[in-house]
Chains A and B, each alone.
Chain A
Amino acid sequence: MSTRTKVFLYGILLLLCVPFVFPTWWMITSSFKPNAEIFSSSLVPSSWSLEPWRQVFTMQPFAQQYWNSAYIAVVVTLGTLVVAAMAGYAFARIRFRGQNVLFLVVLTGLLIPSEVTIVPFFRIFNRLGLVDTHWPLILVPMLGPPSVLATFIMRQFFLTLPGELEEAARVDGLGRPAIFRRIALPLARPALGAVAIFTFLHSWNLYLEPVVYLSTRSKYTLPQALTQFTDAYQGQLWNVQLSAASMTAIPVLIVFVIAQRQFIEGLAHTGLKG
């Protein structure tokens, strides 16, 4: 490759980077600008103000909301891993009729927008007295369509594991549960990692469901809380809102930068996150 081609390619890549990187940069730097300066086009604030970051916590029970999002995402992720790993293993090892039906189920779970079922779910949870609780945000993703997808991914992975290993363990007198726990599961770490990442992100980003189910501020999750930073006239307090947005984005970004290979390759191999 000639030097000119190289320079040209780097130039295009750098230019293309702008819309991917600049918004995140702008979000973080603008969050330190005082409100009077918020629409100035300087790339860094002229004076760094921590005030908006402080206001995030005085305007809303933001620490509580942060905790809500975090614990829900962790519970959903762990629950999905257990359900999906067990079912995925069983579906990979036992022969059963109707493999095609299973595929249809997966396709349904994968492609049907959650908006389709939001009305019946609302009525069910309303009947059960679970509206304005976190239960719908935990149960539906953990057992509904996202979990079906996770099960499918786990099954595809377990199918690639050689059977001889497990045969040998069986000859040594290990039962199915022990084989699963001690042999199959440790080998499945990459697949579990990928499932964990997309399950966590899915829960962390959930927006329609909290908006529909939750009405008490202290029960809000982060995506819903982020839209609530307005002044008395419903005008947006951009710097406070951007501070809160930065706080939800930065931790995940840091984990991503550290483990970028697992993120990108894991998601590329499962390849199914809509």
Chain B
Amino acid sequence: MYVFVTPALLGALAFVFLPLVLVVWYSLHEWNVLADTFTFVGADNYRRLAEDPDVPAVLGATALFSLGLMVLNLALALLLAVLLNQKLRGTTVFRVLFFSPVVVSLLAWTIVWGFLLQDNGGINGLLGAIGVDGPNWLRSGGIAMAAVVVVQVFKNVGLNMVLFLAALQGVPQELAEAARTDGAGLWTIFRRITLPLISPTILLTSIITVAGSLQVFARISVLTQGGPGTSTTVLVYYLYQQAFQFHSFGYGATLSVLLFVIVLALTVLQWQMRRRWVFHEH
């Protein structure tokens, strides 16, 4: 039996844990690729992190992106799931349509949105047809961030939607019926019965969505390259720039450690907060 687990264990050791240890080790070094020198610099990179004037803006952009993505994604996913949970014909077709961006390759999806969001692109063409002068979506501060969030939400919301749909279908009909006979309105039933019953799914999807929201390198790289200014430079993009464009590998590793700490903290936070709002049957 132990033969069965050997590849997986070795893999996890070499490809999950070793790099995590190494990234901390590297953050205490400076690595010059061209000269191939690897020198210990102590806490220098962390000092640089504390003094880097771009870091507050980068963290702000990251927080804005993750928060915006989570709220929009979960709200839209829940709305779609509730709509698809109605007794209507043809909901399977709609389910397929809403889910389809999940399987469209990420870069294709991002590129076509980049095309649509050009100043003279499809969306401003549509807006122009109804007499609205649309902005240059990807080149205006503030709007660019919103645009990237929206592109990302439409790409992946289908996944959360089917998770919510499965959860909604598990809500016993009798409960809603009983509440209705007691005179509760649709909204009250939804808030007092449906939401608490699907709260474990909300927890799961919010953890996955927040963690996923930090891995947005491709979207940023294709749509805005972090601009305009640094308004869409989220942490993973800044990390890539420092390590692979400016060849500051030690500093890149330091930013990776920061990213790791943030993911860990967010996950623990969400897990702790679950007691306050996630409903458990006993």
Contact = CB atoms under 8 A, between A and B. Distances in A.
Interface of A: 1, 6, 9-10, 12-13, 16-17, 19-21, 23-24, 26-27, 30, 39, 41, 82-84, 86-87, 89-91, 93-94, 105, 107-124, 126, 139-140, 142-145, 147-148, 151, 176, 180, 201, 204-205, 207-208, 211-212, 222-223, 226-227, 238, 241-242, 245-246, 248-249, 252-253, 256-257, 260, 263-265, 267-269, 271-274
Nearest to B101: A20
A123 B129 CA distance: 53
B63 interface: no
B95 interface: yes
Interface string B216-258: 0110011000000000000010011001100001001100110
Interface stretch (B46-54, B106-114, B134-142): B106-114
A107 B267 contact: yes
B35 interface: no
B33 interface: yes
B5 A90 contact: yes
A105 B1 contact: no
Given A21-B97, A120-B23, A207 B218 contact: yes
Given A39-B121, A87-B8, A264-B99, A271 B106 contact: no
B26 A109 contact: no
A22 to B, nearest CB: 8
B101 A274 contact: no
B111 A13 contact: no
Contact of B105 (A39, A87, A249): A249
Interface string B1-41: 11011011111101110111011001000010100000000
Given A115-B236, A252-B104, 9 more contacts: A24-B104, A27-B115, A41-B122, A90-B1, A123-B26, A143-B11, A143-B12, A143-B14, A265-B162
B115 A238 contact: yes
Contacts, number: 264
Interface of B: 1-2, 4-5, 7-12, 14-16, 18-20, 22-23, 26, 31, 33, 80, 83, 86-88, 94-109, 111-113, 115-116, 118, 120-122, 125-126, 128-129, 150, 154, 158-159, 162-163, 165-166, 204, 207-209, 211-212, 214-215, 217-218, 221-222, 236, 239-240, 243-244, 249, 252-253, 256-257, 259-260, 263, 267
B8 A83 contact: yes
A13 B97 CA distance: 10
Nearest to B163: A271
Contact of B106 (A19, A223, A269): A223
Contact of A205 (B4, B106, B252): B106
Given A222-B105, A248-B108, A271-B163, A117 B259 contact: no
Given A21-B100, A126-B33, A83 B7 contact: yes
B98 A17 contact: yes
A241 B100 contact: no
14 contacts: A41-B122, A87-B4, A111-B207, A115-B239, A116-B256, A120-B26, A123-B26, A140-B15, A142-B11, A143-B10, A227-B107, A241-B111, A267-B102, A274-B212
A252 B104 CA distance: 7
A54 to B, nearest CB: 19
B42 to A, nearest CB: 18
B9 A208 contact: no
Contacts of B100: 20-21, 24, 253, 256
Interface of B is mostly: helix
Contact of A226 (B101, B107, B163, B239): B107
B166 to A, nearest CB: 5
Contacts of A205: 105-107, 218
B187 to A, nearest CB: 15
Nearest to A269: B166
A253 B104 contact: yes
Given A9-B86, A10-B88, A207-B217, A223 B8 contact: no
Contacts of B115: 26-27, 30, 238, 241-242
Nearest to B103: A256
A154 to B, nearest CB: 10
A246 B108 contact: yes
The 7 tightest CB contacts between A and B, nearest first, are: A143-B11, A87-B8, A144-B15, A41-B125, A274-B212, A245-B108, A117-B19
Given A117-B19, A143-B10, A268 B166 contact: yes
B221 A207 contact: yes
B112 A13 contact: no
